[in-house]
Amino acid sequence: MAEEQVLNTHNASILLSAANKSHYPQDDIPEIALAGRSNVGKSSFINTILGRKNLARTSSRPGKTQLLNFFNIDDKIRFVDVPGYGYAKVSKTERAKWGKMIEDYLTSRDNLRAVVSLVDLRHEPSKEDVQMYDFLKYYEIPVIVVATKADKIPRGKWNKHESMVKKKLSFDAQDHFIIFSSVDKIGIDQAWDTILDMV
C-alpha cells in the first residue's frame, strides 16, 4: 500500500476470535500478526497505532488473550493479536495447544504478510524471544522487530539497548527494527510506514 492516507485507521473494529483454521476469515485481505511474550505490549501496540484506548484489550493480568483476535482496519488490512508466550502459570497442555495454534497460523496463512515481533527494549530478549525470531526467519516470514516500553529508558541509552537486543537475536540487518512506546507514543509513524510497505 502506498500511502497511509489510503487507510482510514479510525475505521477499525474487532472482527472475530479464532482458535483454529476453520474460523479464520476467508478472503484475501493482508494480515499483520503481533507476536511477543505475555505482557510485552502487543495489544497496546494495536491500540496505540490505531489511536484507540481499548480496542484490543490490554491487561496487567498476563496470559489473558487465549485466541487469535482478528482486527479489521478499514476492510484493507487486518491485525492479528496472538496470545503471548512465556507465561509461567500455564499448564503443559495449555502451552501445547497454544503452540499448535500459533504454529498453524504462522506457517499456513496465505494472508500473512509480516509479523510484528515485540520485545522489551529494557531487557535482553528471552530464550523464547530468540526462538520466535528464529522460527520466523526459518519460515522466511518477514519480521518487524518492535522494541517497546522505550519510555522506561532514557533516550541517551536507547542505542545501547538496541544493540543489546539485536545482538541477542542475531538480528538480520534486512529486517526492520523500531523503537516504540505506547505510553509516550513513540514510533507510530515508522510502524505505519513499515507495515504499509509490507502489505
Ligand X SMILES: Nc1nc2c(ncn2[C@@H]2O[C@H](COP(=O)(O)OP(=O)(O)OP(=O)(O)O)[C@@H](O)[C@H]2O)c(=O)[nH]1
Residues that bind Mg ion (CB under 5 A): 42-43, 65
For residues 22 and 54, which CB has a smaller minimum distance to ligand X in the complex? 54
For residues 83 and 171, which CB has a smaller minimum distance to Mg ion in the complex? 83
Dihedral angle computed from the Cα positions of residues 87, 89, 93 and 95, in that order, rounded to the nearest 10 degrees:
0
Q: Is 83 in the site for ligand X (CB under 6 A)?
A: yes
Write out the binding residues for ligand X, residues 102-141 only, by CB under 6 A.
none
Dihedral angle computed from the Cα positions of residues 141, 113, 49 and 27, in that order, rounded to the nearest 10 degrees:
-140
Q: Is 64 in the site for ligand X (CB under 6 A)?
A: yes
Contact (Cβ atoms closer than 8 angstroms) between residue 14 and residue 25: no
Q: What residue number has its CB nearest to ligand X?
A: 84
User: Applying CB under 6 A, what is the total number of residues that bind ligand X?
Assistant: 24
**Of the candidates 56, 68, 36, the residue with the CA atom closest to the CA atom of residue 147:** 36
x/- track of binding to ligand X for residues 16-55 (CB under 6 A): --------------------x-xxxxxxx-----------
Give the one residue of 111, 181, 187, 191 binding ligand X; rule: CB under 6 A. Answer: 181
How far, in whole angstroms, is CA 194 from its chain's centroid?
A: 13
C-alpha–C-alpha distance, residues 118 and 82, integer Å: 11
CB of 9 to ligand X, least distance (A): 18
Is beta strand 143-148 parallel, antiparallel or unpaired with respect to 176-179? parallel
CB of 59 to ligand X, least distance (A): 5
3-state secondary structure of 99: helix
- Residues forming contacts to ligand X in the complex (CB under 6 A) are 36, 38-44, 58-60, 62-65, 83-84, 148-149, 151-152, 181-183
